A = this chain, B = another copy of it.
Amino acid sequence: MKKMTAVHVYKGDIVFTPSPRGFQVHEDSYIVVADGKVKGIYYNLPEPFRDTPLTDYGNKLIVPGFVDLHVHAPQFFQRGMGLDEELLSWLNNYTYPIESLFADPVFAHEAYSSFVKEMLYQGTLHACIFATVHLESSKILIELLKNKEVNAYVGKVNMDQNCPDFLKENTETSISETYELIETYCKKPNGTASVKPIITPRFAPTASTKMLEALGTLAADYHLPVQSHLSETEEEIKWVKEVHPDYTTYADVYYHNGLFGQTPTLMAHGIHLTEGEQNLAREMDVKLVHCPDSNINLSSGIMPVRSYLESGIRVGLGSDVGAGHTLFMPRAMISAIQVSKMVALAVSPVRVLNNTGINRDSVPANPLTLAEAFYMGTKEGGSYFGKVGSFEEDYSFDALVVAEEPAMTTKYFSPLERLQRFLYSGSAKNIVDRFIGGRKINT
C-alpha cells in the first residue's frame, strides 16, 4: 500500500537565497509542502492543489529558519558579561568557572532549558552546539533539544590539559565518555527531531595529542562530524606553537589527527590563517564559522571574509554566545556586514585612488551584501545538515513567518525591503510561527 502524503500550502511573501548572489522573492505566492519538503512555489496555485489545506499568512514574510553553526550552550548563562576582556583571560575569569557549574545535572537542566527555549524563540532551527566536558549534562541538553524538536549537533567538550583542574579530564575518561554519548545517541531512535553527537575537542591548546588522535579515530569509525576552534587570536596561536611544537601550523594539529575535513568539519573563527592553512581548509572542504560579534567583543581580530569567499573557502555564521552576546542570528548577519564595511573603510584609499570613480568590484574589501550574509546564515549553514536553509525543491520546510510592526508600513515597501528591516531592526518578537520539517513548532 502506498504511504499517504501529507500536503499543505502556505501563502505569503516568500523570500530566500538559492545562492549568495541574490534573493529570490515570491510576493503574494503559494509554497506547497509535501511530507515536510518543499514541492514548489507558485504565483497561481496549480489545479491539483486547489483543495489542499492552506494557511494564508497575508503579507507576512516566509523565510528559511536560521542556522547557528557555532554556539556554546553553557555560555548562554554568561552572555553579555566580561566582554571587556580578551579570549584567554575571558576563558579563565568567566567561562571556565561557569562551565564548572554544569557538573550538577539539576543546574544544567535549568540552565539548558532556558537556552533551548530562547534559541528556538530567536528563530534558530538548526545549530551546532558546544556543551561542557560533563557527560550527564550533555545528555540533558540533547534530550531538551529533542523535546523541543530543534535539529542540532551537540558536542560533549574534550579537554585534558592546560585548563583549570576543576574542568580537566583524564584522557581515557574523556574518550570513554565521548564513546558512551555516541553509542547512546547514534543508536537511540530519534523521534521527529534530529539531534546527534559531534566530535568536539575544545581547541588545540587544551587537547593532548593522544586525545586528539583518539577523537580522530572515533570520528572516522562512526563517520561523525567534527567541530572546534581555530586561530581566533594571535596570543592563542603563539600558545598552540608552544603546546604542540611538532606541528607546522595550528590547522595541522587537527589535520594530522583526522580532525580537519576527513569527516565534515566546522572550525570557528579562523581569523589569522596562513596561506597554507587557507589552502588546506579549501582542499579539505572545512567550513569556517564567522562569528563577528564575538571577534569584536573579545578584540580577537577581523576575519577577511571577502578574500576567503573569493578564494573558494566556505564560510557560515555563528552567534558564538557567550562571546557573542545574542542568539538572534540576524544580528550575526548584520554584524558581518558592518564589520566588512569597516574593513572597506580601512582600505578606502584604494577606492579614492581609483579615479575613474568608486568601483567597488575592484576593491578586495568589498563589503558583504545582505544576500550574502543571509545566505551564510541560512543555506550555507544549512548545508551542514542536508537540504536545509532554502526553499528550492526537496528542501526541508524549515521556515519562519515574520510579521511587522507597525503594520501600516507594509503597503509602502517591497518584501525585500521589509526583510531587510526585520534583519536590521526586528527581533524575535516579529517571528509569529516556526516550522521544522513541515511541522509547526511551539516555543
Chain copies in complex: 2
Q: Are B79 and A425 in contact (CB under 8 A)?
A: yes
Query: How many angstroms from the CA of A421 to the CA of B94 in the assembled complex?
Result: 13
Interface-forming stretch among A142-150, A295-303, A374-382?
A: A295-303
Query: How many angstroms from the CA of A429 to the CA of B428 in the assembled complex?
Result: 11
A339 within 8 A of B: yes
Q: Are B84 and A423 in contact (CB under 8 A)?
A: no
How far in angstroms is the closest Cβ of chain B from A359?
Answer: 14
Q: Are B297 and A423 in contact (CB under 8 A)?
A: no
- Within A63-86, the residues touching B (CB, 8 Å) are 77, 79-84
How far in angstroms is the closest Cβ of chain B from A303?
Answer: 12
- Within A115-144, the residues touching B (CB, 8 Å) are none
Neighbour of A110 across the interface among B326, B405, B408, B420, CB < 8 A: B408
Query: How many angstroms from the CA of A77 to the CA of B82 in the assembled complex?
Result: 35
Q: Are A81 and B420 in contact (CB under 8 A)?
A: yes
A230 within 8 A of B: no
A344 within 8 A of B: yes
Number of interface residues of A (CB under 8 A): 48
Q: Could you say which residues of chain B place their CB within 8 Å of the CB of A409?
A: 77
Interface centre among A80, A293, A423 (most CB of B within 10 A): A80
A257 within 8 A of B: no
Interface centre among A334, A344, A370, A429 (most CB of B within 10 A): A334
A424 within 8 A of B: yes
Residues of A at under 8 Å CB distance from B?
77, 79-84, 98, 110-111, 114, 234, 293, 296-297, 299, 301-302, 325-326, 334, 338-339, 341-342, 344-346, 352, 367, 369-370, 405-406, 408-409, 412-413, 417, 420-427, 429
* 18 intermolecular pairs with C-beta atoms under 8 Å apart: A77-B412, A79-B424, A80-B421, A80-B424, A80-B425, A80-B426, A81-B417, A81-B421, A82-B417, A84-B370, A114-B405, A234-B352, A297-B424, A299-B341, A299-B367, A301-B345, A325-B334, A346-B346
